[in-house]
Structure formats: C-alpha cells, structure tokens
Amino acid sequence: MNKYSGIPFYRTISSTPLKAFRVVYKETDLFVLAEKDLTSETLSLVRDIRLPLEAYILKNPQFLKSLEPLPEDSRAPEIVKTMLRAASIAGVGPMAGVAGAIAEKVGKALLEKRLTSQVAVENGGDIFLALKKDAKVALFAGDSPFSGKIALVIKSKLMPCGVCTSSAKVGHSLSLGTADAVTVVHKDTATADALATSFGNMLNTPDDFKKVATKAEKVRDLLGVVAVMKDKIFVFGKTLKIEPI
C-alpha cells in the first residue's frame, strides 16, 4: 500500500503537483490525478456513465458474456458503441474494453466540464492520460526480471491516449495466453484495453511476438506495444520509448 489509504502498490506515484484521489463505485475502482480533489464530481460521473451500460447489459446479456466481437448497434448508448468498436478492432468480446472505456469517459468529462485542465484516470491497470508533461508508466509483470524495472515514457504530444495492460499472471484479466504483461498505447483507451487482451491471447511463446507485430501493424492510431514473457521483452512502435526505473 502507498500513502493513499487503501490504494494498492501499483498505484504508487512519484512527486506531482496534481491531487490524487480514489473513487469506488460497484466494480469500478478509479485512481485519479487532477488539479484539485474532484472526488464527488468523479463519483457522479461514474454513476452516470455506468447506468446506461448496466441497463444495456440487462437487456443484452450476450454483451457481457461474449468473447468475440458483436455487431454494431446504432441504438446503443455511446459507451456501448465505444466498446463494440474497440472489440471489433481487437477481435475480442466487448467487455474487454470496459475498464478503458470508463476511464476515458470519466477523464474527458472532467476536462470538458473544465474542472481540471489535465487528468490521469487509472481503472484496474488501464489508464487514460491527458497531461501537460511527459508521463512515465512503470511496467509490472509478475515474476519477470523486467517487472518494476522499466517504464514506458508517454510524451505529452501523444496525449490524450490510453495505456492499458493485460496479464495471464497478474490481476483479474481474462487471458488465453501466457504473457506476464502486455501493455498497449493507443489514442483510444477502450481500444488499448481490448488490444491488450487480444495480443495477450496470442502470446504463448516468444515466437508469437511476430504474430503480435503483424497484427499491430494494421491497427490505426496504435502508438506502441510492450510485451513481457519471463526474461523476453518485445517492443513495437516508433513513438514508444522505454527507460529503466
């Protein structure tokens, strides 16, 4: 745990002038950086964002359970459309993008309401970044020797963007592969989230990095991919930089 009560170790942050606060509502557990404490405003946004999603799932249970993309639905709420698009791009079920979708919608709403001019929203390891300075995101990859030793450098000029991670070894993510961690940086956070799952599903041996690269080359607005399997690391994307911590 870090100095913010109840917050797990992977939410440890370095010195920043931004205020850090946590918002928990049902399954959504957010860690937010903003120019001031916006706990109550963020909680209200989370409720407003989740309500149409929950109502849609009640009427369309397949949306919750499917592990494959579902058809577009012109009458669906906006967050559902976002998740359906992300799933289609990644080739996975729509719920693979839920954490990223919520993180981005919360962050963008805080910006659009002019409650803050910069924000970072982390939701279960999936992050929406809209900061004025470059950010470093540490990579946690279970027992890999790279875990906690390297960080992705996200240039401010690439923001807003999503930085999302899937793992077959850590956390609650459903992964059909064996990667210690797959982190994806994409302009759309829901898509980054869904792609992290998709790429993670593809990785069973280091030879599978080639398959990830082939698929990644075809994805529009993809800024980078970092995948770790034990003592092997794969980095894709000319704009992506990694540094030792």
180 in any annotated domain: yes
2 in any annotated domain: no
What letter does residue 5 receive in the DSSP assignment?
T
Exposure b/e, 215-235, CB count within 10 A at least 16 = b: bbeebeebbbbbbbbbebbbb
User: Are 197 and 90 contacting, i.e. CB atoms less than 8 angstroms apart?
Assistant: yes
User: Does 71 sit behind a cis peptide bond, omega within 30 degrees of 0 on the bond before it?
Assistant: no
206 in any annotated domain: yes
Domain count, the chain: 1
Largest CA-CA distance found in the chain, in angstroms, rounded: 47
76 in any annotated domain: yes
User: Are 189 and 154 contacting, i.e. CB atoms less than 8 angstroms apart?
Assistant: no
4 in any annotated domain: no
44 in any annotated domain: yes
d(C-alpha 200, C-alpha 175), whole Å:
6
**DSSP states along 141-154:** -TTSTTTTTEEEEE
CATH code, 91: 3.10.520.10
Give the predicted TM-score (pTM) of the model: 0.92
Q: What's the confidence (pLDDT) of residue 4?
A: 41
Taken as a whole, the chain contains a residue count of 245
3 in any annotated domain: no
**DSSP states along 13-47:** ----SSEEEEEEETTEEEEEEESS--HHHHHHHHH
Q: What's the confidence (pLDDT) of residue 140?
A: 85
Per-10-residue mean pLDDT of the chain, 245 residues long, equals 46 82 96 98 98 98 97 97 98 97 98 98 96 93 85 95 84 66 97 96 93 96 94 90 89
d(C-alpha 78, C-alpha 160), whole Å:
19
* Domain of residue 16, residue span: 9-244
